[in-house]
């Protein structure tokens, strides 16, 4: 996010850090929308927790 805020395009930032342009675009959009720079939690079926 810092590279983009300093003037690099999202595609340039992706190339610089070894990521895909699509991923860089999604990360930047997420940062602009939510202020988030960390991945969202991932996991399995959360509805079934405690149903054993």
Residue 11's nearest CA partner among 29, 31, 22 is 22
Q: What count of other Cβ atoms lies within 10 Å of the Cβ of residue 25?
A: 16
What's the whole-number mean pLDDT along residues 32-48?
Answer: 76
Residue 26's nearest CA partner among 3, 44, 1, 6 is 1
Q: What pTM was computed for the model?
A: 0.55
What's the whole-number mean pLDDT along residues 40-52?
Answer: 69
Say which residue the tokens 């342009």 belong to.
Answer: 21
Provide the pLDDT confidence category of residue 51 given band limits of 50, 70 and 90: low
What's the whole-number mean pLDDT along residues 33-49?
Answer: 75
């Amino acid at each position: 996010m810092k590279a983009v805020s300093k003037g690099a395009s999202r595609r340039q930032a992706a190339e610089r850090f070894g990521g895909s342009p699509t991923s860089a675009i999604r990360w930047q959009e997420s940062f602009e929308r939510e202020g988030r720079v960390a991945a969202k939690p991932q996991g399995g079926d959360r509805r079934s927790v405690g149903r054993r």
